[in-house]
């Protein structure tokens, strides 16, 4: 199938990264939970590589932004680190060194004509706030987050047009409280996870409220990982399971962010089970009144869901009593990451946002493919021939273009990621970049996909020439 795939004018082409995954921990005022986790248990990280140096973006951001421009970026997201910007976590007083760094970064983006999106939280809570107050389980931490955000917005709010409150907030309760794959690595703390969901929604709404009160001229949104929940079959049991998964893993943030309220079926279920979060009428009114201007959607893989088996896996309350995930036989997999590849979900997400969320302006804020051992694909000129990545992007973009043709209000596409960076405990196992980073010497080399991306950005589209059908 050969077809021209075209995107609207002013479409965003770029990528996302985050402070903790790219900068290295130079000059940081505090440790975040990831820095601390590595310090305590380095063996839990792939090849024992931690966040100390990461991709040295702290030193190299000027060159890196130039490279991003060279591969066609007109926009780029990264995050401010709470643990870097704030010297005094109780008062929100900033660290002077950090102010210089962020001002330098903002200027460098401007110089290269790159629209910067600044995110305020990318899984990187200062660890002291976990130890002292219990982290996101605590409303005190919500207060302190608002202070941090106020400092950030007072310093940089008029220089940056696009802000986001959180990246993938659902990962914080999911990975930290339900299944234990991120620090604090609790497993089976279902009730606490529900409080974390509520508190982060409140924190996000409070920062949106602040942004509006400050009358800043830009826009503020949130970045959500949406994982469409597809039922195994049309049986009532499987359908019920997929609805609960959707309510918990997608709508628990999507609904408050866009509509100002929590999904009714989720609230009822949690109430019935005696695990509903503690909240007040005043807080709910803040959530109701302060919704996002735009939405960022990270999409990597769908969730395949079926009715739960009979056996209870956990002693305390867990949402898993209502569902089980399963792997479809013969589905396409990214074997390095263990994630299903299902490009059509991009279209399904777009149509869901159009139909059920007022067609709010949104963009794909992360999409990408991590591959292990990419040195295998280096050619005689030293360039990684990552055709698999190009094909992955083509398929996802083709579904996105179809959704836009059908009226979806999508304004951009960001890959994960610009240059190879650190991925939590997977460290540098899988590489995602359009630009390779050699960990021996931090040398950057544009991959084949980077050159391809430049052409896509220049033409605002590409020729679709794969067998994979977009129907
Ligand atoms: C996302 C996350 C990123 C990055 C990516 C690839 O879920 O937002 O920070 O780690 O996964 O692993």
* Sequence spans of domains, the chain: 3-464
- Assess whether the C-beta atom of 423 lies below 6 angstroms from ligand 1: yes
- Assess whether the C-beta atom of 124 lies below 6 angstroms from ligand 1: no
How far does Cα 20 stand from its chain's mean position?
A: 13
Is residue 372 among the annotated active site residues?
Answer: no
- Assess whether the C-beta atom of 167 lies below 6 angstroms from ligand 1: yes
Please, are residues 436 and 64 in contact by the beta-carbon 8 Å criterion? Answer: no
Nearest CA to ligand 1 atom 10: 423
- Average predicted confidence (pLDDT) for the chain: 98
Residue in 192, 198, 165 with CA at minimum distance from that of residue 180: 192
* High-pLDDT (> 70) share of the chain, %: 100
| pLDDT classification of 471: cutoffs 50, 70, 90 | confident
Query: How much is the average pLDDT of 310-339?
Result: 94
| Structure confidence by residue, pLDDT tens digits, 76-126 | 999 999 999 999 999 999 999 999 999 999 999 999 999 999 999 999 999
Count, residues in the chain: 471
Ligand 1 atom with the shortest distance to the CA of 167: 8
- Assess whether the C-beta atom of 174 lies below 6 angstroms from ligand 1: no
CA 423 to ligand 1 centroid distance, Å = 7
Structure tokens at 276: 């509903």
Is residue 192 among the annotated active site residues?
Answer: no
Query: How much is the average pLDDT of 205-228?
Result: 98
Cα-Cα-Cα-Cα torsion 305, 307, 311, 312, nearest 10 degrees, comes to: 70
Nearest CA to ligand 1 atom 6: 423
Three-class secondary structure of residue 297 per DSSP: strand
Q: What's the Rg (C-alpha) of the chain?
A: 21
Query: How much is the average pLDDT of 291-306?
Result: 98
Ligand 1 atom with the shortest distance to the CA of 368: 6
| pLDDT classification of 310: cutoffs 50, 70, 90 | confident
Specify the pLDDT at position 257.
Answer: 99
| Structure confidence by residue, pLDDT tens digits, 429-465 | 999 999 999 999 999 999 999 999 999 999 999 999 9
Over 90: is that where the pLDDT of 415 sits? yes
Q: What are phi and psi of 202, to 5 degrees?
A: -65, -45
Q: What are phi and psi of 78, to 5 degrees?
A: -140, -175
Distance CA 34, CA 149 (A): 20
Cα dist. 190→108, 176, 238, 275, 354 in Å? 43, 11, 22, 8, 31
Specify the pLDDT at position 312.
Answer: 80
Ligand 1 atom with the shortest distance to the CA of 430: 12
- Assess whether the C-beta atom of 366 lies below 6 angstroms from ligand 1: yes
- Assess whether the C-beta atom of 365 lies below 6 angstroms from ligand 1: no
Cα-Cα-Cα-Cα torsion 300, 304, 310, 313, nearest 10 degrees, comes to: -10
Over 80: is that where the pLDDT of 31 sits? yes
Among 23, 168, 192, 243, which one carries the catalytic annotation?
A: 168
| pLDDT classification of 313: cutoffs 50, 70, 90 | confident
Under 8 Å CB-to-CB from 450, ≥6 apart: which residues?
A: 71, 433, 434, 435
CA 177 to ligand 1 centroid distance, Å = 18
Q: Cβ of 443: how many Cβ atoms within 10 Å?
A: 10
Structure tokens at 325: 């995930």
Specify the pLDDT at position 40.
Answer: 98
Specify the pLDDT at position 353.
Answer: 98
Ligand 1 atom with the shortest distance to the CA of 337: 12
Query: How much is the average pLDDT of 164-193?
Result: 98
CA 223 to ligand 1 centroid distance, Å = 12
CA 149 to ligand 1 centroid distance, Å = 22
Over 80: is that where the pLDDT of 1 sits? no
Under 8 Å CB-to-CB from 100, ≥6 apart: which residues?
A: none
- Assess whether the C-beta atom of 75 lies below 6 angstroms from ligand 1: no
Specify the pLDDT at position 311.
Answer: 83
| Structure confidence by residue, pLDDT tens digits, 340-389 | 999 999 999 999 999 999 999 999 999 999 999 999 999 999 999 999 99
Classify 3-464 by CATH class: alpha beta
- Assess whether the C-beta atom of 227 lies below 6 angstroms from ligand 1: no
Q: Cβ of 289: how many Cβ atoms within 10 Å?
A: 12
């Amino acid at each position: 199938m050969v077809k021209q795939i075209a995107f609207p004018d002013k479409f965003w082409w770029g990528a996302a990264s985050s402070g903790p995954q790219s900068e290295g921990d130079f000059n940081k005022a505090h440790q975040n939970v990831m820095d601390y986790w590595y310090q305590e248990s380095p063996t839990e990280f792939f090849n024992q590589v931690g966040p100390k140096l990461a991709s040295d973006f702290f030193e190299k951001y000027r060159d890196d932004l130039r490279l991003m421009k060279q591969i066609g970026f007109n926009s780029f997201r990264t995050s401010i680190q709470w643990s870097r910007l704030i010297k005094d976590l109780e008062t929100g007083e900033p660290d002077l060194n950090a102010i210089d760094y962020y001002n330098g970064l903002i200027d460098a983006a401007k110089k290269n004509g790159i629209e910067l999106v600044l995110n305020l939280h990318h899984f990187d809570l200062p660890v002291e706030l976990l130890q002292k107050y219990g982290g996101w389980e605590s409303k005190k931490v919500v207060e302190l987050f608002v202070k941090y955000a106020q400092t950030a917005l007072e310093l940089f709010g008029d220089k940056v047009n696009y802000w986001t409150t959180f990246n993938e907030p659902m990962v914080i309760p999911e990975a930290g409280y339900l299944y234990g794959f991120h620090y604090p690595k609790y497993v089976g703390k279902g009730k606490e996870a529900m409080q974390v969901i509520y508190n982060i929604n409140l924190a996000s709404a409070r920062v949106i409220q602040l942004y509006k009160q400050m009358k800043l001229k830009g826009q503020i949104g949130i970045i959500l990982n949406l994982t469409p929940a597809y039922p195994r079959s049309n049986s009532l049991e499987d359908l019920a399971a997929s609805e609960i998964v959707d309510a918990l893993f997608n709508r628990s943030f999507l609904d408050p962010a866009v509509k100002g309220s929590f999904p009714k079926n989720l609230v009822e279920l949690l109430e019935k089970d005696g695990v509903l979060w503690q909240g007040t009428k005043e807080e709910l009114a803040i959530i109701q009144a302060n919704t996002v201007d735009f939405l960022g959607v990270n999409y990597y893989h769908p969730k395949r869901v079926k009715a739960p088996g009979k056996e209870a896996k956990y002693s305390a309350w867990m949402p898993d009593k209502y569902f089980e995930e399963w792997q479809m036989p013969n589905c396409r997999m990214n074997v390095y990451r263990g994630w299903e590849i299902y490009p059509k979900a991009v279209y399904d997400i777009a149509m869901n946002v159009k139909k059920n969320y007022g067609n709010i302006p949104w963009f794909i804020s992360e999409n990408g493919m991590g591959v292990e051992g990419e040195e295998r694909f280096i050619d005689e000129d030293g360039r990684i021939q990552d055709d698999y990545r190009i094909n992955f992007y083509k398929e996802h973009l083709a579904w996105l273009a179809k959704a836009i043709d059908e009226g979806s209000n999508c304004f951009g596409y960001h890959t994960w990621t610009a240059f190879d960076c650190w991925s939590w405990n997977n460290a540098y196992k899988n590489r995602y970049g359009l630009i390779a980073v050699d960990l021996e010497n931090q040398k950057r080399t544009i991959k084949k996909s980077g050159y391809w991306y430049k052409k896509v950005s220049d033409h605002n589209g590409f020729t679709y020439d794969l067998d994979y059908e977009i129907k």
